[in-house]
Amino acid sequence: MLFPVFSFVPKPIKLKILLAVLLAHGFVFISQKGSHAKFRKAGNPTRNIIVKMGKKEIPYGTFKSIIMMSGLSEEDFT
């Protein structure tokens, strides 16, 4: 059985871009414990995002998870 070969490999997103977009869309830095920072959507206390701050790039799977938790779309980050 042959497996399909995918030519598209999603690229990781830069941490600076992720933080800039979150802050631009109303997320506020709450606290940091170790290398993980907590952001909360202003006016919506149930939208909490945890971001690992120790790396320069966020893996694509983690990025997709942050998109789902934040309620933003992938187009907001381009």
Q: Is residue 6 pLDDT above 70, yes or no?
A: no
* pTM of the complete model: 0.81
CB under 8 Å to 33, separation ≥6 — which residues?
none
Task: Please identify which residue in the block is written with the tokens 């992720």.
Answer: 18
Q: HSE on the CB side for 15, CA within 13 Å?
A: 12
Percent of the chain surpassing pLDDT 90: 64
Report the alpha-carbon distance of residue 3 to residue 14 in Å, rounded: 31
Residue 18 has pLDDT above 80, yes or no: yes
**Mean pLDDT score of the chain, rounded to an integer?**
89
Report how far apart, in Å, the C-alpha atoms of 22 and of each of 19, 39, 48, 56 are: 5, 8, 11, 16
pLDDT of residue 23: 95
pLDDT at 1 over 70: no
